[in-house]
Amino acid sequence: PLSSTPAPTVPWKSTSGQNKRQKFESVFPVLRDELIAHFASKGMPKDAIDWYTRNLDYNVPGGKLNRGLSVVDSVEILKGRSLSDEEYFKAALVGWFVELLQAFFLVSDDMMDQSVTRRGQPCWFRIEGVNLLAINDSFMLESAIYHLLKAHFRKDSYYVDLVDLFHETTYYTEMGQLIDLITAPEDHVDLSKFSLDKHRLIVIYKTAYYSFYLPVAAAMYMCGIPASTTTPNGTTSDPYKLALDILIPLGEYFQIQDDFLDFAGTPEQIGKIGTDIIDNKCSWCINTALAVATPAQRKVLDENYGQKDAAKEKTVKGVYEELKIRDRYRAYEEGAYQKILGLIDTISEEQGSDGSPVLKKQVFKSFLDKIYKRTK
Amino acid sequence: PLSSTPAPTVPWKSTSGQNKRQKFESVFPVLRDELIAHFASKGMPKDAIDWYTRNLDYNVPGGKLNRGLSVVDSVEILKGRSLSDEEYFKAALVGWFVELLQAFFLVSDDMMDQSVTRRGQPCWFRIEGVNLLAINDSFMLESAIYHLLKAHFRKDSYYVDLVDLFHETTYYTEMGQLIDLITAPEDHVDLSKFSLDKHRLIVIYKTAYYSFYLPVAAAMYMCGIPASTTTPNGTTSDPYKLALDILIPLGEYFQIQDDFLDFAGTPEQIGKIGTDIIDNKCSWCINTALAVATPAQRKVLDENYGQKDAAKEKTVKGVYEELKIRDRYRAYEEGAYQKILGLIDTISEEQGSDGSPVLKKQVFKSFLDKIYKRTK
Ligand SMILES: [Mg+2]
Ligand SMILES: [Mg+2]
Ligand SMILES: [Mg+2]
Ligand SMILES: [Mg+2]
Ligand SMILES: [Mg+2]
Ligand SMILES: [Mg+2]
């Protein structure tokens, strides 16, 4: 009878986006419990155990999980087959390390920006009794990465590469955060500090490395892609450099799109109300506007940008429309899309003479497809 | 003539404490410049370069440097000879990594404690224009460790051990910080949360690991001391476990002494005015007092501890005198000293059958000598 038939084991490849996310989410409690068990094993008092549990549960899951999922996706594509349970678990763990890193950045960024909400709930530091302790809480989210990395990967040949990769990415993100913080402080508007070049630098360091390069490079290390490949015809390439050269423009495109949607997306589309103008953000929109504004329009932007005032925000949006920011964005997006397609096309996929695994175009195509012309 | 005689090269061993410190201090500008050159090479804007330089110069040197110097001292003792220039530089670099880690902790701890001064100058976050950016600045001090570690040690066999050691120590310190923050919040006094056991746990995790175990274990890895030693007569020992078992009580003793001097030391002795009572610190003094106080004395402590009020502070000190905290400290110190001497004596110093380097009693004796009966 039907009821006794075992449920078909759904191969990883055919699971839908929704199921992929659920499967990935189901790994979080495993690592959370492992962290808490380790913490408790040190004789920590109950109130501290409860605190760390709440820190993890409040700040780590609950995001879009794109960064974490892209580690799993990339491992899958690079291996070219569905993953064993152990392979899946390890790929998902590394995916969660990216999410832990992001949580570390978001908890602290919200304090530095004095933000109010994050992912539809109050920022962690605004929770009763947390306040400045959130600084140490953010540290513990970062440290959790290296504890778990050691616990699960210490014997793998790529352990040290993953550690170095997370360190370098973290440092770059902090560099980007520093430039952002001194270029666009929440409480002091000075548009003379802005430029499209500065915007590019901030985006690359603050966002692109950890959101785009990190997940893919981590997957590449896990799949044994070597630092240098020589094909039988003697061409030598550096797959990590190649990946970086594609993922940095991809990350830039993603952030510019994010900046544009903050201005042009409806709340239904983006799931929140855009506040970049009011928050004095160094956004692609303001930088593009500044690059083409007349002196009169510049004066309007200087007098209205970055202020907690809805009428001033509307005035800035008026200037954006005058300057045809929507058309400029569409032109930018088309150019970026074609440029990235061209970069992806430079990947040869030719097996190296030592037979080691190689980079695949699909890793980047699948990323680009998720981003191109998205409206949310 | 005298003036043309080259200055005698002073062997490391015979340099005085003052010269040791100066020599160690002279390494800081080298690593600072290396960090800044790397940062600048990423195309960072001038204001960001100046900011990071100021962050490093303001927060990293200028402390007592005991932790950093003890890496150099321990390497010297373990090698049993003066160091080559390259050996010295690498030992000093690792010493500075401990100081960078400490700077990361102190910058953030001062924010969480809302402290006013540090090392005789305003806390970094209180500097005009810094404020909450100090959070990201503290992150960059931590990341600097791993950048330099990779730049100078990636090819050394002990690279991964040093990385793991710094990670683990960092995590432990954050755990200790968490218990401290929820046990003794700066703005809410609740002595029922205090106990000598809690004090011990906080001291071990928040202070002893990074101040005592980290410098010595790092030196041990650099000197090639293996994880396990078997002597010709077949005895197996774990030198790192042995070091930990000595250094944790040593760190505990150091912190208890520090807590005692905060109460009993004169400003001339300790170079500052003690504020532990006013700051609601979970100090050895209050925990010892609580353990032996009568209900009446306990009531006085509850009503007077942890308040910004000099008269109440004086009342607490009066109870400490009634409870003979000075005598109790002297008894504790004598017991701790003898106990640690006994632990040091369990080190065999017998060469392992594979001829690898071994632990030496002098590493710990030199530590203990610096601490025993110090008055500042
Ligand atoms: Mg923010
Ligand atoms: Mg921010
Ligand atoms: Mg945005
Ligand atoms: Mg403090
Ligand atoms: Mg503190
Ligand atoms: Mg003290």
The per-residue b/e assignment along B197-229, b for 16 or more CB within 10 angstroms, e otherwise, is: ebbbbbbbbbbbbbbbbbbbbbbbbbbebbeeb
Count the Cβ atoms, other than its own, within 10 Å of residue B135.
24
Residue A233 scores a pLDDT above 90? no
Q: How far apart are CA B143 and CA B16, in angstroms?
A: 33
Q: How far apart are CA A240 and CA B317, in angstroms?
A: 63
Residue A267 scores a pLDDT above 50? yes
Q: How far apart are CA A285 and CA A264, in angstroms?
A: 10
Cβ neighbours of residue A91 under 8 Å, at least 6 residues apart?
A71, A72, A75, A76, A83, A219, A222
Residue A95 scores a pLDDT above 70? yes
Q: Is A228 at the interface with chain B, CB within 8 A?
A: no
Which residue, B297, B316, B299, is CA-closest to B308? B316
How close is the Cα of A309 to the center of ligand 6, in Å?
Answer: 47
Average pLDDT over chain A reads: 92
Q: How far apart are CA A137 and CA A100, in angstroms?
A: 12
Distances (CA, A) of B274 to B278, B280, B315: 9, 12, 15
Which residue blocks in B204-238 are alpha helix, DSSP H? 214-222
Ramachandran quadrant class, A233 (left: phi over 0; alpha: psi -120 to 50; beta: rest):
alpha
Catalytic positions of B are 64, 104, 109, 113, 118, 180, 206, 254, 258-259
Burial group, residue B152, by CB count within 10 angstroms (0-12, 13-18, 19+) = middle
Query: Mean pLDDT, to the nearest integer, of B148-175?
Result: 98
Of A108, A167, A205, the CB nearest to B136: A108
Q: What is the reported pLDDT for A13?
A: 43
Q: Which tokens in the block code for residue A301?
A: 């932007």
- pLDDT bin (cut points 50, 70, 90) of residue A2 is very low
Q: What is the DSSP letter of B232?
A: T
Longest dimension (CA), chain B: 78
- pLDDT bin (cut points 50, 70, 90) of residue A316 is very high
How close is the Cα of B78 to the center of ligand 2, in Å?
Answer: 47
How close is the Cα of A118 to the center of ligand 1, in Å?
Answer: 9
Helix (H) / strand (E) element for A117: namely strand A117-118
Q: What is the reported pLDDT for B231?
A: 73
A135 neighbors B108 (Cβ within 8 angstroms): yes
Residue A14 scores a pLDDT above 60? no
pTM equals 0.93
Query: Mean pLDDT, to the nearest integer, of A46-71?
Result: 96
Which residue, A104, A47, A37, is CA-closest to B180? A47
Count the Cβ atoms, other than its own, within 10 Å of residue B195.
16
Q: How far apart are CA A111 and CA A102, in angstroms?
A: 14
Give B10-52 pLDDT, tens digit per residue: 333 445 667 999 999 999 999 999 999 999 999 999 999 999 9
Dihedral Cα B137, B61, B156, B171, nearest 10 deg: -50
Q: What is the reported pLDDT for B42?
A: 96
Q: How far apart are CA A357 and CA A350, in angstroms?
A: 10
Helix (H) / strand (E) element for A27: namely none
Q: For residue B158, give the 3-state DSSP assignment.
A: coil
Q: What is the reported pLDDT for A17?
A: 64
Nearest Cα of chain A lies from the Cα of B100 at a distance, in angstroms, of: 14
Q: What is the reported pLDDT for A59?
A: 98
Place of tokens 């969480």: B112
Q: Is B178 at the interface with chain A, CB within 8 A?
A: yes
Query: Mean pLDDT, to the nearest integer, of A17-41?
Result: 94
Query: Mean pLDDT, to the nearest integer, of B70-78?
Result: 96
Of A111, A174, A182, the CB nearest to B140: A174
The β-bridge partners of B237 are B229
Residue A272 scores a pLDDT above 90? no
Average pLDDT over chain B reads: 92
Which residue, B224, B159, B237, B216, is CA-closest to B356? B224
A276 neighbors A325 (Cβ within 8 angstroms): no
- pLDDT bin (cut points 50, 70, 90) of residue A12 is very low
Give B342-376 pLDDT, tens digit per residue: 999 999 888 877 778 899 999 999 889 888 877 66
Torsion sign (Cα): B113, B119, B370, B172 = positive
Q: What is the reported pLDDT for A376?
A: 62
Q: For residue A69, give the 3-state DSSP assignment.
A: helix
| Percent of chain A clearing pLDDT 70 (strictly above) | 95
Q: What is the reported pLDDT for B185?
A: 85
Residue A228 scores a pLDDT above 90? no
Q: What is the reported pLDDT for B17?
A: 64
Instruction: Write the single-letter amino acid at A318.
Output: G
Q: What is the DSSP letter of B8?
A: P
Q: What is the ipTM of this complex?
A: 0.93
Does the distance separating the beta carbons of B174 and A136 come in below 8 Å?
yes
Burial group, residue B257, by CB count within 10 angstroms (0-12, 13-18, 19+) = buried
In the stretch 118-157 of chain B, residues with CB closer than 8 A to chain A read 132-133, 135-140, 143-144, 146-147, 150, 154
Q: How far apart are CA A258 and CA A252, in angstroms?
A: 10
Q: How far apart are CA B347 and CA B243, in angstroms?
A: 9
Of A51, A112, A154, the CB nearest to B178: A51
B329 neighbors B260 (Cβ within 8 angstroms): yes
Q: What is the DSSP letter of A192?
A: G
Task: Please give the distance of CA A272 from its chain centroid, rounded to a whole number.
Answer: 18
Instruction: Write the single-letter amino acid at B19.
Output: N
- Across A341-355, B66-80, B232-246, the highest mean pLDDT is recorded for B66-80
In the stretch 21-50 of chain B, residues with CB closer than 8 A to chain A read 39, 42-45, 47-48
Give B101-157 pLDDT, tens digit per residue: 999 999 999 999 998 889 989 999 999 999 999 999 999 999 999 999 999 999 999
